[in-house]
Structure 1
């Protein structure tokens, strides 16, 4: 049974890291995206994640669940690397002790959001810092900045025009001319977090819509 589960985990790593490279992307500079971290499974980069508090991060639910279910990957195998442009070296590596998957996530792009709690709070610095949660909803053709690794070893960034989903307030779509192509990648506007990348192409969890979920679970995570 254990061998089967580990095989599933390895398939997840392959699936998440085979995304297309960031189109027309640029290499990130030191301290340009201090909130962007590498989520790792057994020491291998699988997704991005965004720092929102010293011991809390947001990523995609699809990054921490297996086979499009709500079965969470083993917490002991999950960690994040913060404060480095390289996902395989530098910065600091922190173990994850708790994963909170959105209760309405059903393996599709809607509600593809999860919160991570670290074993120890991060020490903020020019290269490690939180991103603020947005207090305004996205408007049509908002220019979003996305940062992630995709198939690269160094952090890249790109911009694209975002807009709300026509039929679902839970989702933001980014035009195909500029996207991170990586689950968990933060989408930012005016230094506010507006979206978290889904594993579904061009889709992002709408952070404004999910604010109450984020605040409620952040409070709960801080005291458990």
Structure 2
């Protein structure tokens, strides 16, 4: 039962981390799209309207980058939360300003424009407001999901799973590298052992031959000494000439 709970928690951690990473990538893409929209409305942007929206988009991209990093590591959630709150507050204010004071926002972004340019600017500002609203709602989802992940400690559990997986891979690679050395070492060890045994056997055989020769020499010397004491002639050995030629 505990193993099933652990595996379920691991699966939830992996899904939550991947979903948070995906949402933060969407935030980064939305921030980049708003920067493009600002430069399409007026290039270079006007101050303070155009540059204000530009810096807000940069803050959105920064919060998305922090969220991408914080979705897989422990200790980055506070920085991500700080950037998320600031960018969410700026997005909420910008969306309310665009939809409640639309004409003033258009004039602040693109002043002194003719009717045709003003019509294009209005369309771009509407699209900009829609993108800001979508980014704001996505950030609220990221905030709720991030707090849930931090509360249940899913990031720590995911890091434990990654550490266990890397340890298993390291042990498997070490075993694969060690196996050829073991296969080479075992025959070599067996060969050395057989050589050692063979050398002991040869030395023992040579020692036995020397002992037999010494015993024969002692017997011959004892027989000669006995013949001198008894007066009997020593045993005669055939001369070398009596042996048939080889």
Q: Give the TM-score range, shorter chain.
A: under 0.3
**Larger radius of gyration between Structure 1 and Structure 2:** 2
TM-score, length-scaled by structure 1: 0.26
Q: Would you tell me which structure has more strand in proportion to its own residues?
A: 1
Q: Would you tell me which structure has more helix in proportion to its own residues?
A: 2
TM-score, length-scaled by structure 2: 0.24
